[in-house]
Amino acid sequence: MLRGTSDDQVINYTNLYTFYTIWFFGFVTGCRALATPFVGLTEVSPINLMAALHDKGEEKTRPVWIMDSLYLHMQYHSKYVEQLNLFYSKDKPCWFVAAGRAPAEFTKHHIEAFVQRYLAGFPANISRRYMMNALWDSGCPPELVRAWAGHATAGNAFWASGATAHYGEIASELRRYIEPILNYLGFVPMAGKELNRAK
């Protein structure tokens, strides 16, 4: 627990925890490095762990498959955000914290800054690029990699009307390939720490 923490400690911890959450989500879903590259917990179906992601604008919605480990982490993250009493909404589910614990809306520039801090010289969407290559290298079927990335061609979209593959089959297949990669990278669900303002 971070009892008696200063604002600077809270801000630093919160922003690192938020970045971990964003990256975890990005590695699982292939989300592009755009403003709010995340979906809120309420947007994920607890039945099939699917969500609709707007990573190219409202007109470019695609399904994403959430792994069990990410779903648990998203539950932890949601509880952490609630304890901070940040202003958040369904449309903007992820925030950084600025001076005085004021909420700062997440932007692509936050991703770029953190990536440059830890992986200097790499692009902001390194998670998407890395995972696409890792999926290819692990033998994941090409049509599945394209569906994961939101690149399914016309008539090949598994979720379209008349599609032959069931979303449950897609999720099951993706888990076979994604979970080992996540384990290799060290992504695990982490509960946010309990925070108290210094007196």
pLDDT tens-place string over residues 27-40:
999 888 666 788 88
Higher pLDDT among residues 196 and 175, named by residue: 175
Chain-wide mean pLDDT for the chain? 81
Q: What is the CB neighbour count within 10 angstroms for residue 54?
A: 16
Amino acid at the residue 152: A
Q: The tokens 């998407």 sit on which residue?
A: 128
Cα angle for residues 29, 178, 142 (degrees, 5° grid): 80
By the 10 Å C-beta count (0-12 exposed, 13-18 middle, 19+ buried), 103 is classed as middle
CATH of domain 2-190: 1.10.443
How confident is residue 161, by pLDDT bands cut at 50, 70 and 90?
A: low
pLDDT at residue 198 greater than cutoff 50: no
Q: Give me the pLDDT at residue 113, please.
A: 84
Does the pLDDT value for residue 154 go beyond 60?
Answer: no
Contact residues for 99 (Cβ-Cβ < 8 A; gap 6+): 7, 11
Whether pLDDT at 74 is above 50: yes
Q: Select the highest-mean-pLDDT range: 53-57, 87-91, 117-121, 168-172.
A: 117-121
- The secondary structure of residue 167, as a DSSP letter, is H
Q: Give 50's strand partners.
A: 65
User: According to the model, what pLDDT value does residue 190 have?
Assistant: 95
